[in-house]
A and B are shown apart, each in its own frame.
Chain A
Amino acid sequence: MKVTLTVNGTEYARDVEPRLLLIHLLRDELGLTGSHWGCDTSNCGACVVWLDDTPVKSCTVLAVMADGHRVLTVEGLANGASLDPVQQGFAHCHGLQCGFCTPGMMLTARWLLNNNPHPSSYQVREAISGQVCRCTGYENIVKAVLWAAEYEAGG
Chain B
Amino acid sequence: MTGPGVAGQETGAYGAIPRKEDARFVRGQGTFVDDISLPGMLHGAILRSPLAHARIISVDASAALAHPKVEAVLTGADLAGRGLAWMPTLSADVQAVLATDKVRFQGQEVAFVVAQDRYAARDALELIAVEYEPLPPLIDARTALAQDAPLVRDDVPGRADNRVFDWNAGDKTATDAVFATAEVRVGCDMVYPRSHPAPLETCGIVAASDAVTGRLTVWSTSQAPHAHRTLYSVITGLPEHKIRIVSPDIGGGFGSKVPVYPGYLCAIVASMITGRPVKWVEDRSENLMSTAFARDYHMHGEIAATADGRILGVRARVLADHGAFNATAQPAKYPAGFFHIFTGSYDLQAAFCEVTGVYTNKAPGGVAYSCSFRVTEAVYLVERLVDLLARELGMDPAQLRMRNLLRPEQFPYTCPTGWQYDSGDYPRAFALALDLAGYQGLRREQAERRARGEYMGIGISFFTEGVGAGPRAHMDILGLGMADGADLRVHPTGKVVLAISVQTQGQGHETTFAQLVAHELGLTPDDVEVVHGDTDRTPFGLGTYGSRSTPVSGAAAVLAARKVRDRARLVAAATLELSPDDLEWLDGKWRVRGDPDRGAGIAEIAMAAHSSLELPDGVEGHLDASAVYNPPNLTFPFGAYICVTDVDPATGEVTVRRFIAVDDCGVRINPMIVEGQVHRGLADGIGMALMQAIAFDENGNCLGGSFMDYLLPTALECPSPELGATVTPSPHHPVGAKGIGESATVGSPPAVVNSVVDALAPFGVRHADMPLTPANVWRAIQGRPVRPDLAVS
A and B touch in the complex (CB under 8 A): yes
Question: In whole angstroms, what is the CA distance A20 to B122 when docked?
Answer: 13
| Contacting residues, chain B, for A40 (C-beta < 8 A) | 283-285, 706
**Which B residues are in CB contact (< 8 Å) with A125?**
714-716
Contact between chains at B708 and A41 (CB < 8 Å): yes
Residue A126, interface by CB 8 Å: yes
Chain B residues whose C-beta falls within 8 Å of the C-beta of A60 in the assembled complex: none
Q: Which secondary structure dominates where chain B touches chain A?
A: loop
Residues of B within 8 A of A106 (CB): 26
B707 pairs with A98, CB closer than 8 A: no
A103 touches B707 (CB 8 A): no
With both chains docked as a complex, state the minimum distance between the C-beta of A98 and any C-beta of chain B, in angstroms. Answer: 3
Which secondary structure dominates where chain A touches chain B? loop
Segment touching A, from B227-235, B385-393, B673-681:
B673-681
Interface residues of A in 45-94 (CB under 8 A from B): 46, 73-75, 77-78, 83, 87-88, 90-92, 94
The interface bits of chain B over 109-124 (1 if a CB of A lies within 8 angstroms of the residue's CB, else 0) are 0000000001100000
CA distance A155 to B119 in the complex (A): 49
Contact B679 A140 (CB under 8 A): yes
Quick one: given A98-B252, A100-B252, are A38 and B284 in contact (CB under 8 Å)? yes
**Quick check: is B764 within 8 A (CB to CB) of the other chain?**
no
- Which range contains the number of A residues in contact with the other chain? 35 or more
Among the listed A90, A124, A131, A140, which residue makes an inter-chain contact with B26, where contact means beta carbons less than 8 Å apart?
A: A90
Tell me which residues across on chain A come within 8 A of B673, comparing CB atoms: 94
Q: Are A132's CB and B119's CB within 8 A?
A: no
B28 touches A138 (CB 8 A): no
Q: Are B680 and A136 in contact (CB under 8 A)?
A: yes
Chain B residues positioned under 8 Å from A92 (CB to CB) = 18
**B202 within 8 Å of A (CB atoms):** yes
Decide: A38 and B200 in contact? CB cutoff 8 A: yes
Cα-based distance from A94 to B18 in the complex (angstroms)? 7
- Contact assessment for A41 and B706 in the assembled complex, using a CB-CB cutoff below 8 Å: yes
CB nearest to B685 among chain A residues: A137
Q: Of the candidates B23, B250, B712, B721, which one forms a contact with A139 in the assembled complex, judged by CB atoms under 8 Å apart?
A: B721
Shortest C-beta distance, A28 to chain B (Å), equals 8
Asked if B584 is an interface residue, CB under 8 A from chain A, the answer is: no
Instruction: Give complex CA distance A43, B379 in Å.
Output: 31
Contact A78 B27 (CB under 8 A): yes
Contact (A137, B252) CB under 8 Å given A19-B119, A102-B25: no
Is A129 interfacial (CB-CB < 8 Å)?
yes
Q: What's the Cα separation between A132 and B258 when bound, in Å?
A: 22
Give the residue name and chain of the A residue nearest to B679 (CB). A137
Cα of A74 to Cα of B25 in the assembled complex, Å:
10
**B30 interface residue per 8 A CB criterion:** yes
Instruction: Report Cα–Cα, A125/B656, bound state, in Å.
Output: 14
B residues 706-762 near A (Cβ < 8 Å) are 706-708, 712, 714-716, 718, 720-721
Q: Which of B263-271, B500-508, B513-521 sits within the interface? A: B500-508
Chain A residues in the interface with B (C-beta under 8 A): 17, 19-20, 24, 27-28, 31-36, 38-41, 43-44, 46, 73-75, 77-78, 83, 87-88, 90-92, 94, 96-103, 106, 121, 124-126, 128-142
